[in-house]
Amino acid sequence: MSVSTDPSAQPTPSTTSAPPPASSPWSALRPLILRLHFYAGVFVAPFLLVAAFTGLLYAGSFQAEKIVYDHELRVPVGKSELSISKQVAAARQARPEGTLSAVRPSPEPGATTRVLLSGVPGVDPDHTLAVFVNPYNGEVRGALEQYGSTGALPLRTWIDDLHRDLHLGESGRLYSELAASWLWVITGGGLVLWFSRRRARRTIRGTSGRRRTLGLHGSVGVWAAAGLFFLSATGLTWSTYAGTSISDLRDALGQATPSVTATVGAGHEGHAATGSMPGMDMGPEAADSAHVKVGLDAVLETARDQGLSNPVEIVPPADTASAYVVKQIQRSWPEKQDAIAIDPTSGVVTDTLRFEDYPLLAKLTRWGIDAHTGNLFGLANQIALAALALALILLILWGYRMWWLRGRGTSFGRPIPRGALRALPWYVTVPAALLIAALGSYVPLLGIPLLAFFAVDLVLGEVARWDQPREKTNSG
């Protein structure tokens, strides 16, 4: 929600005298919440509007990607699949440049295999080149840049970058972090103001103008509030500054996301690789490394024996001290995130990591991010995200409309009254001050603008008080 939802915020600047003694902490606190909601709504809402619009685009990018890249992603179902090593060999024959970085075998009938190459000239260093191979006959269907663990292709990657940083790089990420930092504050303040108003007046009457807009703004905000809180919390988890604070806190609590040990001999007690030894097959690039005696086919068979079902990704050894890493990459419910490491010389499983053994906060982070990005519940998840984005866009537009109807976009309402802070009891101000200080430390793009809002309001208050004697003199 955005922009103050209370018509009482519109008195002239001259009405800044000290408030009457507060009958309750709420009566003293309400003007502060009202002003905070108003300022955040006016000045932070543009960033939220951009985030909501780009988020709406991103929610639709999953289905658009399937349509745009259907030729690369889908093939007619055949009778039997070629071995992974033969599929990789076909990809490398067509695209010999770069280095094999991973293989994603066909996850289901009719889906292509992705052979991922790094260090390819002309490809972003943070991306890989995905070569799409028909698993039934080895035909190379095409090659596209891929980004991230979710396998985003160029269309979704472009929209993702737009949503995250407006294609401005690291500096651009500040916009999305600012939006995520304030979304929960604006939503929470709007909820408090709305329900306090409902208790006071029971209903908002009127079918036109500002009252009608206020009713729509409040009603939609209440229904969307839970989703907006969720988007704010999950969006902060991988932001630049707040995300680092959250990561450090998780590390301190022993709740960091674990990873399988890929160093040979440094993992858990080895487990014999069931059924992976016949032929000790060499992968198409394994022959370049004398220490690699177990190829991709045996590695995939071992992973199946260890319970790693589709979809999986096979990462070859990076050097002589590294193992193969096979990990599940399903981000939809139920999550499949198990991983194993396999010794490339013996085929022995050297380490095993199960998603069920993740710490609680690591699981919650994984689920939260996947729901935020539209992966966790598939199409239903993407529809819900689109609905939330559309609701946020409407809330912001309605908020600005109320501001316009109140003062043609020039009124900034009434500054915090003189003595409003002093009117609060200590058992409200002390915890509130400590909470604000802590939040400002961990979420700097919340704390810094908050100080700016208070400074602006103090200046407006002083200006209004200086104008009062002039008005009295002129009237006399």
324-338 burial, b at 16+ Cβ within 10 Å, e below that, comes to bbbbbbbbeeebbbb
Query: Would you state the pLDDT for residue 13?
Result: 42
User: What is the three-state SS of 106-155?
Assistant: CCCCCECEEEEEECCCCCCCCCEEEEEECCCCCCEEEEEEEECCCCECHH
- Scan for tokens 């008005």, then name that residue: 471
Cα dihedral 311→317→318→321 (10° resolution): 140
Predicted local distance difference test score (pLDDT) of residue 27: 66
Distance, CA of 341 to CA of 105 (rounded, Å): 17
Q: Which residues of 165-178 are buried (b: 16+ CB within 10 A; e: fewer)?
A: bbeeeeeebbbbbb
Mean pLDDT by 10 residues, the chain (476 residues): 44 44 62 81 92 98 98 97 98 97 98 98 96 98 96 97 95 95 94 77 58 90 96 94 92 95 65 39 49 90 97 95 96 96 96 97 96 97 98 95 72 54 70 81 89 78 67 55
Q: What is the pLDDT of residue 270?
A: 43
Structural domains in the chain? 7-57+167-250+379-475 (no CATH), 73-152 (3.10.450.40), 260-357 (no CATH)
CA distances from 265 to 121, 270, 273, 321 (A): 35, 9, 15, 8
286 touches 295 (CB < 8 A):
yes
Q: What's the whole-model pTM score?
A: 0.84
Could you give the CA distance from residue 317 to residue 322 in angstroms, rounded to a whole number? 5
CA distance 286 to 317: 9
Q: Please report the pLDDT score of residue 100 as a whole number.
A: 97
CA–CA distance, 45 with 70 (Å, rounded to integer): 37
Q: Is the peptide bond before 19 cis (omega within 30 degrees of 0)?
A: no
Cβ atoms 352, 268 nearer than 8 A = yes
